[in-house]
């Protein structure tokens, strides 16, 4: 038989088998072909995304990704991106209740002593990851010190304000003849209200030393 005619006959028979078998043939073809899915984190490392278009994704790869390939003749999983130089996939599986799961290993490995410390400290890798996330969410020592410094400075300023109000009231008491006008009396009442509110609602109270310091300062400003 002519080779060209033989090739045409084989193609025709293959097409006929596909038409006759229909769905089963397609399912067999899909099984032989296998499946492939790529996972990565989008939106700056937040939301999980996936793609089945390997060519497009790998051509535009700009993030670490995990590619899972399933099939009778090619079952493997690989990491793409910078992380592939220090991480490897030890295994992968999928369950109906828990979804896709990945088992990772470091391409550099761990010293025996470090590995023993890890398994004696944490019941699982997820527990270690949760602990790291918890520590990262806590404020650092420098941040805590900054908060303490800011609080100390704010209290100092509140103390100065309280001492200043008390000093003004003290000066007006010492020279009532000078501050006997109606306007001066209204100002005094408002200052007394502020001073009483401060004493009642705060641990910051006027100090003798602070009041004397402000009296000297105000004496130079308003002799």
Domain ranges within the chain, ordered by starting residue: 32-107, 111-138, 141-221
The residue behind tokens 């270690």 is: 128
- CA pair distance 84, 138, nearest whole angstrom: 30
pLDDT (mean) for 138-142: 76
Q: Are 170 and 215 in contact (CB under 8 A)?
A: yes
For 80-115, write each residue's pLDDT tens digit: 888 888 888 887 777 777 777 878 777 777 777 777
**Whole-number pLDDT of residue 92:** 78
- Which of these ranges, 60-64, 65-69, 162-166, has the smallest mean pLDDT? 60-64
Cα 37 to chain centroid distance, Å, stands at 27
Residue 79: both structure tokens together: 């990491």
Q: With left for phi above 0 and alpha for psi between -120 and 50, is residue 116 left, alpha or beta? A: alpha
**pLDDT: is 146 or 5 the higher one?**
146
Residue 21 has pLDDT above 60, yes or no: no
Residue 22 has pLDDT above 60, yes or no: no
Q: What angle do CA 113, 115, 116 make, to 5 degrees?
A: 65
For 169-221, write each residue's pLDDT tens digit: 888 878 777 777 888 788 888 888 877 887 777 777 888 888 888 888 877 76
For 31-41, write each residue's pLDDT tens digit: 666 677 888 77
Q: Which percentage of the chain shows pLDDT scores above 70?
A: 74
- Residue 63 DSSP label: S
Helix axes of 208-221 and 141-174: crossing angle, nearest 10 degrees: 60
**Whole-number pLDDT of residue 178:** 76
Surface-to-core class of residue 65, CB atoms within 10 Å of its CB (0-12 exposed, 13-18 middle, 19+ buried): buried
β strands within 35-119, DSSP E: 35-41, 48-51, 65-70, 76-80, 87-95, 99-106
- The predicted model scores a pTM of 0.43
- CA pair distance 99, 111, nearest whole angstrom: 32
**Whole-number pLDDT of residue 61:** 65
Phi, psi of 172 (to 5 degrees): -70, -30
């Amino acid at each position: 038989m002519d080779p060209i005619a033989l090739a045409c006959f084989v193609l025709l028979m293959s097409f006929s088998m596909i038409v006759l078998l229909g769905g089963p043939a397609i399912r067999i073809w899909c099984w032989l072909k296998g499946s492939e899915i790529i996972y990565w984190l989008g939106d700056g490392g937040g939301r999980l995304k996936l793609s089945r278009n390997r060519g497009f994704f790998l051509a535009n790869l700009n993030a670490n990704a995990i590619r899972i390939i399933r099939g009778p003749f090619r079952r493997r999983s690989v990491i793409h991106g910078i992380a592939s130089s220090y991480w490897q996939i030890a295994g992968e599986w999928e369950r109906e209740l828990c979804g896709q799961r990945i088992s990772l290993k470091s391409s550099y490995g761990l010293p025996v002593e470090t590995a023993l410390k890890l398994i004696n400290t944490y019941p699982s890798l997820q527990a270690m990851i949760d602990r790291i996330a918890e520590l990262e969410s806590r404020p650092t020592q420098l941040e805590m010190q900054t908060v303490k410094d800011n609080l100390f400075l704010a209290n100092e300023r509140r103390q100065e304000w309280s001492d200043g109000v008390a000093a003004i009231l003290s000066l007006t008491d010492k020279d009532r003849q000078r501050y006997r006008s109606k306007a001066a009396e209204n100002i005094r009442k408002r200052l007394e209200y502020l001073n009483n509110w401060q004493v009642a609602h705060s641990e910051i109270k006027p100090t003798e030393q602070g009041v004397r310091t402000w009296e000297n300062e105000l004496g130079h400003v308003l002799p």
